[in-house]
Amino acid sequence: MTVRFDFLRLLPLPALAATCLLAAPAARAQMDSRDAIALQNQILELRQEVQQLQQTQGGSGGGLPAP
pLDDT tens per residue, range 29-67: 777 888 888 889 999 999 999 999 989 887 555 556 666
Q: What is the pLDDT of residue 9?
A: 64
Q: Which of 45, 47, 42 is nearest to 34 (CA)?
A: 42
pTM of this prediction? 0.45
List Cα–Cα distances, 33 to 21, 29, 36, in angstroms: 19, 6, 5
CB proximity list for 61: less than 8 A, separation 6 or greater: 54
Domain ranges of the chain: 6-59
